[in-house]
Amino acid sequence: MKLLREFAKVFVHGTNYGGQPRTMSAHTGWTVREVERAQNLWFGAHPGIKRWHERTRDQVNKRRFIENRFGYRWYIFDRIDSIIPEAIAWIPQSTVAVLINKIWLRVYHEVPEAQVLLQTHDSLAGQYPSHLPETVERIKRCAQIEIPYEEPLTIPFGVKTSEVSWGDCK
């Protein structure tokens, strides 16, 4: 089961971020033909992903930049044919980076007893006085930031704590 999960993680993540059959074949150990069939099934079940890829490709071709939902832009000066997978990945990655920084800023202003000590890709690590357990709920409220899609999206945010070490957080 663990092996299947690892395969699915590589296949789905790579496919969603524009991985072509040859690349996905090299990463999964499947033949190019098997990957093509699997991707056709995946995109058939999730047509919005393929439309997202096409929208991104159109934006890069027409405007030479892409933009995330917070309005940040990435201007593209490289050759377009080689940049599409990076452009596809940039949109969600930059959106999450902006979101995490907005959460950090809200925690800084609204929960002064909490200290953010580290930001890693899609999470924050920090500390607060353990005698103030209500701090966790205040931090969670700070994380309720909508991403301004047509149907606004709020990504769930969890807090793990430990009085021993970061490695012991549960």
Spell out the per-residue pLDDT of the chain, length 170, in tens. 677 888 888 999 999 999 999 999 999 999 999 999 999 999 999 999 999 999 999 999 999 999 999 999 999 998 887 899 999 999 999 999 999 999 999 999 999 999 999 998 889 999 999 899 899 999 999 999 999 999 999 999 888 888 888 788 77
- Do residue 27 and residue 109 come from a single domain? no
Tokens of 35: 């990957």
- Do residue 35 and residue 111 come from a single domain? no
* Number of Cβ within a 10 Å radius of residue 140: 14
- Do residue 39 and residue 57 come from a single domain? no
What is the total count of domains within the chain? 2
- Do residue 41 and residue 58 come from a single domain? no
Q: What pLDDT does 75 receive?
A: 96
Buried b / exposed e along 103-129 (16+ C-beta atoms within 10 A): bbebbeeebeebebeeeeeeebebebe
- Do residue 72 and residue 107 come from a single domain? yes
- Do residue 40 and residue 54 come from a single domain? no
Helix axes 32-45, 47-63, angle to 10 degrees: 100
- Do residue 31 and residue 57 come from a single domain? no
- Do residue 51 and residue 76 come from a single domain? yes
Q: What pLDDT does 64 receive?
A: 95
Q: What pLDDT does 81 receive?
A: 77
Q: What pLDDT does 8 receive?
A: 86
- Do residue 67 and residue 17 come from a single domain? no
- Do residue 80 and residue 145 come from a single domain? yes
- Do residue 3 and residue 83 come from a single domain? no
Domain of 3?
Answer: 1-45
Q: What pLDDT does 53 receive?
A: 95
- Do residue 61 and residue 31 come from a single domain? no
Q: What pLDDT does 168 receive?
A: 83
Q: What pLDDT does 82 receive?
A: 81
